[in-house]
Amino acid sequence: MQANGKDEASQDLLMRSGMLVKNDKGRTYDRFRERVMFPIQDQRGRVIAFGGRVLGDDKPKYLNSPETPVFQKSRELYGLWQARKHPRRIQRIVVVEGYMDVIALAQHGIPYAVATLGTSTSETHLERLFRIVPEVVFCFDGDDAGRKAALRGLEATLPAMQDGRQTKFLFLPEGEDPDTLVRAKGKAYLENLLDHADPLETFLFEHLAEGLDLESMDGRARFSKLAVPHLHRLPEGVFKTLMYQALAEKTGIDVDSLKRLQPPPAPRPEPGEAPAPILDGPPPTDPEEPPPENVMPIEEPMVESLSPSSLNPIHRLLGLLVLKPALEGHFPDALLVTEGSRDAVLLSEVVAHIRKYPEVTTAALLGFWFGTPEGDFLNALAGRETVEEDAGLEALCTALVEKLSRHPALDAARQQFEALKQKPYGELTGEEKQQLLALTQEIRALSGRA
């Protein structure tokens, strides 16, 4: 700041690049003060951001530059440029959790490690890695955090597993990380572990089989139900065929029957197609006139014609939860219900399921509700969401939860509406018809504000 931020224009540039930040009192200061700096380079070697590690005990321990027009965390990997420029052509890349792991491995003769930048491994990351090498190894601590990171890596890897590509998973002994292990045991020891890491199919099937008795018919049925959505995400090719054959051998179910377990994806709207609102058509103006048929039922899964922006908060939250189960931490218990509207109850059930199984993946969530109307509904809702940066998804989830919290009357109005619709319209009293009309208008107004 002292060298390059002496005038207003320079300070503005430093602010936009994330080097400077302004606090609530309007004071400007160095984002990376009292930190060791790690330059982050793009694939052409240009410095586009920085990471900083604190020297003392302050939090957070690591800090990255914010995203800018030239720096997107879902695209960049720390150490990738150096790995590509190594004189000896590399045949695999190891994905680790932090800068220090990358540096320690390079110092001990393993120059092909990279680390994500404060976000989960993305499909973009994997495509970039597989354009350079045929093999990617995820190397994480063996604790819960490491296994969760590996599962997120698995989810990102599945669509990238074209024939000829290989993904492995290595979990280090308790209390060890790549930095400490390579310093204690050396290069040869760690590379031997990498050579014998679990291939994708082993890690996937062992994870899905946890807690199941594959000797029982019920256990094999549940295992199949969990596995098929994962296999469905693989690109067409020999590897996908072999994965289905391996699943058939484990379950005793033929390949064709397994493939029929996966429901077809919900169709996306045609380009230019106007999204249909949740409540379609004008409200009735005459209480003696029945509400239009296309208004009922309010919470019928009409998602196939909806864009994300037209969905109500509960529907959007369901879609986001399926895409990123870790978002359940944003839900206060006050929003969780056991009775009421079907959507609200389903939202609560999804949150409860994630809390019971913290490592659950997107495919496992869809597999749990597979073959039910709720499963089709969740699949369609998730298909309407786009995958964003973790921070973007979290901000959107927080905003939707706040909106939902501000409109408890919406759920109450829907419950009253559903209760009145249990009676044939001709049997409603004049007062009930007036109430039905008022509820229709109230729901439309509340949905619009939400």
Residue of higher predicted confidence among 326 and 391: 326
427/65: higher pLDDT: 65
Kindly report which listed range (63-67, 186-190, 221-225, 414-418) carries the lowest average pLDDT score.
414-418
Domain that holds residue 381: 293-449
One domain for residues 56 and 96:
no
User: For position 340, what pLDDT does the model report?
Assistant: 63
What's the rounded mean pLDDT across residues 157-169? 95
Express each pLDDT in 302-317 by its tens digit: 343 344 444 678 888 8
Kindly report the CATH number assigned to the domain that includes residue 338.
1.10.860.10
For residues 420, 422, 424, 428, the Cα torsion angle rounded to the nearest 10 degrees is -20
**What is the CATH number for 240?**
1.20.50
Q: What is the CATH number of the domain that holds 89?
A: 3.40.1360.10
Overall number of domains in the chain: 4
249 and 359, same domain (yes or no): no
Q: Based on the domain organization, do 51 and 116 belong to the same domain? A: no
Within this chain, do residues 436 and 345 fall inside the same structural domain, yes or no?
A: yes
What average pLDDT does the structure give for the chain? 79
**Does residue 86 belong to any structural domain of this protein?**
yes
331 belongs to a structural domain: yes
Residue 287: inside a domain: no
Tell whether 163 and 224 lie within a shared domain.
no
The answer on 305 and 225 residing in a single domain is no
330, 351: one domain: yes
What pLDDT digit, counting tens, does each position of 92-147 carry?
A: 999 998 888 999 999 999 999 999 987 888 888 999 999 999 999 999 988 888 88
Indicate the pLDDT class of residue 277, thresholds 50, 70 and 90.
very low
DSSP state of 245: H
**pLDDT score, position 157:** 94
Q: Do 391 and 411 have their domain in common?
A: yes
The H or E element containing residue 166 is strand 166-172
Residue 410 resides in a domain:
yes
361 assigned to some structural domain: yes
pLDDT for 105: 94
Which of residues 428 and 385 earns the better pLDDT score? 428
Model pTM greater than 0.85?
no
370/129: higher pLDDT: 129
- The C-alpha atoms of residue 63 and residue 57 are separated, in whole angstroms, by 13
Residue 363 lies in a domain: yes
Residues 363 and 302 both lie in one domain: yes
Half-sphere exposure of 97 (CA within 13 A, CB side): 20
Average of pLDDT values for 357-364? 80
Peptide bond into 297 cis (omega under 30): yes
CATH number of the domain encompassing residue 33: 3.90.980.10
Asked whether residue 416 is domain-assigned, the answer is yes
Alpha carbon distance 386, 165 (integer Å)? 26
- Is residue 377 domain-resident? yes
Instruction: Assess whether 329 and 348 both reside in one domain.
Output: yes
Whether 278 contacts 448, CB under 8 Å: no
160 and 245 inside one domain:
no
Per-residue burial over 48-77, b if 16 or more Cβ lie within 10 Å, else e, is bbbbbbbeeeeeeebbbbebeeebbbbebb
Tokens standing for residue 278 = 């949740």
Instruction: Please check whether residues 220 and 314 belong to one and the same domain.
Output: no
